[in-house]
Amino acid sequence: MRIEVYLTDADRAAQLRDDVKRGLSARPKWLPPKWFYDDRGSELFDEITRLPEYYLSRAERQILHAHAAEIAALTGAKTLVELGSGTSEKTRLLLSAMTAHGTLARFIPFDVSEATLRDAAEAISADYPDIEVYAIVGDFTTDLGHIPPGDARLVAFLGSTIGNLLPEERDAFFGELRSTLDTDEWLLLGADLVKDEATLVAAYDDAAGVTTEFNRNVLRVLNRELGADFAVDNFDHVAVWDAKHEWMQMGLRARQPMTAHVLDLTVSFEEGEQLSTEISAKFRREDLERELNRAGFTIHRWWTDPKRRFALALVRAD
């Protein structure tokens, strides 16, 4: 097992300070969703994935169960790269199928958290002793160039993380990934699909209030890491469907006029003012296909769960 670190704790601290200064000085105010995920935020998200309203993880797992062996056979991949790997729990379905197919030689988990990545890499290395594990600590928006070259690579970008990027950010990501891959190498992309508003809103505003605490956690991160003084419980969780852009919009709404201090900023909120914390775009096949085609990719297979809530696209680099 080998780990390469291209994103240090100091790098992440600098990114946090920069994002906070830019986002909280903007109108309207915003913060990027990546700052949800300290240890507590990761625990809360893991809890979210098991909630009855949150269909996304179950639907994607259904697809992987049904098609992992087919993915292994179609790609003949010798290297599996997983972006935003986390614990690599779902990826074991791919690892097992690709190992059984007899081609897989190397697994490259890629994540921003060194501690999480190290634990996951050690577990994978123990459970799949015939596979080389080469872990990369990095940010997939800036560090894709550090993925080592190799023939027959398959890059897995699972979950619905692609939906957290704005359209121009997705274009940049797909373009950078295409420049990293060789012709006829592969991308396996998870994408949540457009569906009825009630199902979507429930998935992001669960009855138990877990998503509320997850959303508020970004302010707790700022209080702890930057010495801020946000009155966390004075913000309400908001999750609404934006039909024009076809994305879920999450934010925090001030219950009353408030002032918070962070870094060298004094941040004032009016009653009812919202701080945007996440978008989660939902896709139609034709729109996602156009974005991929612009970057030099072609959809080779498109699978959905039985209820057509979620899709996995197997995409080939042209």
pLDDT of 193 reads 98
252 occurs within a structural domain: no
113 occurs within a structural domain: yes
- Strands 310-317, 297-304: pairing is antiparallel
Question: What is the extent of the structural domain holding 86?
Answer: 56-195+283-317
167 occurs within a structural domain: yes
Q: How many domains does the chain have?
A: 1
pLDDT in tens, 248-296: 999 999 999 999 999 999 999 999 999 999 999 999 999 999 999 999 9
- Could you tell me the two tokens for 85? 């790997």
162 occurs within a structural domain: yes
275 occurs within a structural domain: no
pLDDT of 113 reads 85
∠22-295-11 over CA atoms, to 5°? 35
Give the residue-averaged pLDDT of 184-211.
Answer: 98
- Could you tell me if 189 and 181 are in contact, meaning their C-beta atoms sit under 8 angstroms apart? no
Report the C-alpha gap between 215 and 238 in whole angstroms.
9
Residue 119 maps to which CATH number? 3.40.50.150
- When mean pLDDT is compared across 12-16, 75-79, 111-115, 260-264, the lowest value belongs to 111-115
20 occurs within a structural domain: no
- Could you tell me if 313 and 293 are in contact, meaning their C-beta atoms sit under 8 angstroms apart? no
- Could you tell me the two tokens for 285? 């096949």
Report the C-alpha gap between 169 and 172 in whole angstroms.
5
> What integer best gives the mean pLDDT of the chain?
96
Report the C-alpha gap between 190 and 55 in whole angstroms.
13
Report the C-alpha gap between 296 and 292 in whole angstroms.
6
pLDDT in tens, 18-43: 999 999 999 999 999 999 988 889 88
Report the C-alpha gap between 195 and 234 in whole angstroms.
32
141 occurs within a structural domain: yes
305 occurs within a structural domain: yes
Evaluate if residue 87 carries a pLDDT over 80: no
pTM: 0.95
Evaluate if residue 239 carries a pLDDT over 90: yes
